[in-house]
Structure 1
Amino acid sequence: MGNPGLPFLPSQADRRLPELIGSRIRARGPVTFAQFMEWALYEPGLGYYEREHLPLGYDYRTSPHLAADFAQLLAEQIFQFWHILGSPPHFAVIEMGAGSGRLAEDWLAYVGSTWPDFWQALEYGILERSAFLRRLQQERLAGYGEKVRWLEWDEIPDGSVTGCFFSNELVDAFPVHRVQVQAGALREIYVDWAEGEEGGFREVLGAPSTPALETYFARLGIPIATYPSGYQTEVNLKALEWLQLLARKLRRGYVLTFDYGYTAQRYYSPQRFQGTLLAYRQHGTYADPYVWVGSQDLTAHVDFTTLQQVGESLGLKCLGFTQQSYFLVNLGLAKRLADLSQVGDEGGDLGQVLRRRHALHALLDPLGLGSFGVLLQAKGLSDSEYAQPLRGFVDPELHRGIAW
């Protein structure tokens, strides 16, 4: 891969992480792209999510940063979960990957002012692997005291959680393996280091680092070895480990996942021959993951079919799958837009009304955030609880699993 045409080169300070990764590769040989991506995103003090100067929201927009409405409508759905489970006196809501803490702040403020009984039962937990982001969250949410706790997976006993795990744009940032088809065989893309004046990261092909890569496609029934030579894509094995953790920790309740992605048939279509891996920097997207190492986000789309199938095998029943725009409209976003128009007609602050209207429309954008997938899974419910209509998934078509 070559330089994607950026207007300037990385600064000397930005070279620290590439040089560190390069020294590791020189010492041990080529590494999987998943290992490279792990270092690029999470290397202490240097990875994209670990840098002290990370400008959250500077490189891309997320739903919680557009408007508090996203968190508030999410709270409406989770409140219904609590009600369906019989309003238990202890109900855990665990956010996985809380970013700057903005979503949690808006969510908690809304719940605290809307449902006193739910607030009394609520135990809000955050699972955040980035030490830097954890500090930002703790500063932002300090006013909530012991209502919010930061957790590690091993601190949560197996089968102990009654409540809801949720994530927004988490799974897309899990390190992925990259594979390529060559002459009817599946090969893995490794990251090597080239010496000399033109030195730097380079990709080399090798045998799959684990049989789990071929098993992944076999489970989906995708004959990837028959695809044309040169076909590339990604495999998110970390997502399978994550599902196993969720299934172990959850005793009774829900898992709600927001992310961008496709069904497996769309993701692994022969026409999508370069995969979905992208780098994000300063609201730009780039195909080269090796230019701004440590200063750019790296993501790959989510294979929702695998989340559903593997989840089912682990006892996580799929209750619904829809697009974010439908989910939010079902929970009242359209009514909020209509009410906002009325405020403008009655002479409210027109500038504020227009800004909020723009933000709400962005949440519904079918070419952007509105196209995100929303997957709901559950475990440990009674037959009558599983059958309860869910506000965010009211269309009967959306209860038939992953179809679009």
Structure 2
Amino acid sequence: MLGDRIISRINASPQRRITFAQFMELALYDPQDGYYAKKAVDIGAQGDFFTSPHLGTDFGELLATQFAQMWEILGQPVPFTLVEMGAGQGILAADIIKYLYKNYQSCFQALEYVIVELSPGLKQQQQLLKGLAADKVSWRSLEEIADNSIIGCIFSNELLDAMPIHLFLLENGQLGEIYVSTSNEAAFIEIVSAPSSPRLAQYFDLVGVDIAQIASNGSYRSEINLAALDWLSTVAQKLQRGYLLTIDYGYSATRYYNPMRSQGTLQCYYRHQHHNNPYINIGRQDITAHVDFTALERWGDACGLQKLGFTQQGLFLMALGLGERIAAISSNTGDLNHLLQRRDALHQLIDPQGLGGFGVLLQCKGLTSQEISTQPTGLSC
């Protein structure tokens, strides 16, 4: 059992404790029993959660439209490389490739589609994409992608929210880290001690947050995603010329570390129910936290990335033509139930209280001043 092996790991660790980031990495990514390592991860309408691609092909098709424009802005390079980070079940990749083939044939001919997927259980995507432009799709690790080699776009959809996070507690003006340990009474308990890394305190300088101010009303608990910064450093090195597109749920740092949000954003998902206890259903539930987009922007600057824009997913998709797709439904004479389901799916993509409120961050590297001045359509709202 994964829980027992985590307990053994804790007992073998110095001071019999591990960081929450270590706990979360084991719970989600243990090669044998981690949530994302299983052969059939519960993603989709009947599973633990669903993502934008599960609502139909529109999300992928509109992204394909944006990628085709990026190809034009970059001067139609050959190859034009799309690197999808964390491709899940491969649904989004299939939708993008099919739409480029059908509507942007020249871009498709230049296309090289690379998938970086850490989760063995999600590599079922290889079966879905097996007969689809097999010569266009390849699977690589980040280490297998040479530095300064990608001309195109590296992108992710709901990737960073599942990266292992550090938990911290602010109390009496002091920054402490929350560790995971065990006791005779409970399999897992939390203890607070000195931070495991000076990077935790440095993080607040990066995002411009005064920890004394956010904890002025008492104790304050939240998260820091150092793994996202490490990931950003790596992908920035891989990009020679082009874009980094990050879509996820999250906030700016001032909203994320608002004094009123004193319990952070950590959530667990199990069979479409959400709660905040990561110490149950070990290996059988998703564990997530919101993304701090300010950290991505500022750390991106340090990594040689330039911010081109930040918007909400709803506005991003509307600028790319989702509004026209919604309007076209009213003039369609097809099956009423199907049309109503499709309209509902499209509205979910732009619902500001749901998927439509996700953040869309676009950064670039190696572009000329003229290329930078040509704003991608998705950011025109």
Cα distance, 1:98 vs structure 2: 0.5
**Residue number among 345, 351, 356 corresponding to 1:370 in the alignment:** 356
* Corresponding residue number in structure 1 for 2:98: 109
**Which amino acid letter does the alignment assign opposite residue 336 of structure 2?**
L
**Partner secondary structure for residue 12 of structure 2:** helix
How far apart in 2 are the matches of 1:319 and 1:102?
27
Cα distance, 1:339 vs structure 2: 0.7
**Which amino acid letter does the alignment assign opposite residue 211 of structure 1?**
P
**Which amino acid letter does the alignment assign opposite residue 21 of structure 1?**
I
* Corresponding residue number in structure 2 for 1:7: none
Cα distance, 1:294 vs structure 2: 0.6
Task: List alignment gaps of at least 5 residues for structure 1.
Answer: 1-15, 396-404
How far apart in 2 are the matches of 1:223 and 1:317?
25
**Which amino acid letter does the alignment assign opposite residue 275 of structure 2?**
Y
C-alpha distance after superposition, 1:198-217 (max 9, x if no partner): 32100000100000000000
Task: List alignment gaps of at least 5 residues for structure 2.
Answer: none
CA contact (8 A) 2:60 2:96 kept: yes
CA contact (8 A) 2:38 2:120 kept: no
CA contact (8 A) 1:52 1:132 kept: yes
How far apart in 2 are the matches of 1:307 and 1:52?
31
Cα distance, 1:71 vs structure 2: 0.2
**Residue number among 151, 154, 157 corresponding to 1:162 in the alignment:** 151
C-alpha distance after superposition, 1:225-280 (max 9, x if no partner): 45144200100000111111111100000000100000000001111100000000
* Corresponding residue number in structure 2 for 1:352: 338
**Residue number among 200, 213, 219 corresponding to 2:206 in the alignment:** 219
**Partner secondary structure for residue 177 of structure 2:** strand
How far apart in 2 are the matches of 1:109 and 1:351?
26
Equivalence map 1:135-214=2 (5 Å): 136-144=124-132, 145-195=134-184, 198-214=185-201
**Residue number among 59, 63, 73 corresponding to 1:70 in the alignment:** 59
How far apart in 2 are the matches of 1:89 and 1:218?
41
CA contact (8 A) 1:45 1:52 kept: no
Cα distance, 1:52 vs structure 2: 2.1
Cα distance, 1:68 vs structure 2: 0.4
How far apart in 2 are the matches of 1:71 and 1:203?
41
Cα distance, 1:221 vs structure 2: 2.5
CA contact (8 A) 1:186 1:225 kept: no
* Corresponding residue number in structure 1 for 2:372: 386
Q: Does 1:331 align with 2:320?
A: yes
CA contact (8 A) 2:42 2:49 kept: no
**Partner secondary structure for residue 62 of structure 2:** helix
* Corresponding residue number in structure 2 for 1:45: 32
Equivalence map 1:205-354=2 (5 Å): 205-226=192-213, 227-228=215-216, 229-343=218-332, 347-354=333-340
**Partner secondary structure for residue 88 of structure 1:** coil
Cα distance, 1:146 vs structure 2: 2.3
Tell me how large the CA RMSD over aligned residues is.
1.0
**Residue number among 76, 84, 92 corresponding to 1:95 in the alignment:** 84
CA, structure 1 residues 348+53, in 2 after alignment: closer, same or farther (shift >3 Å)?
Answer: closer
CA contact (8 A) 1:127 1:152 kept: yes
Moved beyond 6 Å, runs of 4+: none
Cα distance, 1:67 vs structure 2: 1.2
How far apart in 1 are the matches of 2:379 and 2:93?
22
Cα distance, 1:293 vs structure 2: 1.2
Cα distance, 1:56 vs structure 2: 2.0
How far apart in 2 are the matches of 1:153 and 1:20?
28
CA contact (8 A) 2:2 2:283 kept: yes
Cα distance, 1:55 vs structure 2: 2.2
CA contact (8 A) 1:330 1:394 kept: yes
**Which amino acid letter does the alignment assign opposite residue 370 of structure 1?**
G
**Which amino acid letter does the alignment assign opposite residue 5 of structure 2?**
L
**Which amino acid letter does the alignment assign opposite residue 318 of structure 1?**
K
How far apart in 2 are the matches of 1:206 and 1:20?
23
**Which amino acid letter does the alignment assign opposite residue 89 of structure 1?**
V
How far apart in 1 are the matches of 2:25 and 2:355?
25
**Which amino acid letter does the alignment assign opposite residue 203 of structure 1?**
E
Cα distance, 1:220 vs structure 2: 2.2
How far apart in 1 are the matches of 2:327 and 2:208?
45
**Which amino acid letter does the alignment assign opposite residue 363 of structure 2?**
Q
* Corresponding residue number in structure 1 for 2:5: 20
**Partner secondary structure for residue 262 of structure 2:** coil
**Partner secondary structure for residue 298 of structure 2:** helix
Q: TM-score, normalised by structure 1?
A: 0.91
**Which amino acid letter does the alignment assign opposite residue 372 of structure 1?**
F
**Partner secondary structure for residue 37 of structure 2:** coil
* Corresponding residue number in structure 1 for 2:120: 131
How far apart in 2 are the matches of 1:76 and 1:60?
26
Of stretches 73-82 and 221-230 in structure 1, the one that deviates more from structure 2 is 221-230
Cα distance, 1:19 vs structure 2: 1.0
How far apart in 2 are the matches of 1:217 and 1:282?
35
Cα distance, 1:157 vs structure 2: 0.9
* Corresponding residue number in structure 2 for 1:4: none
**Residue number among 22, 41, 53 corresponding to 1:35 in the alignment:** 22
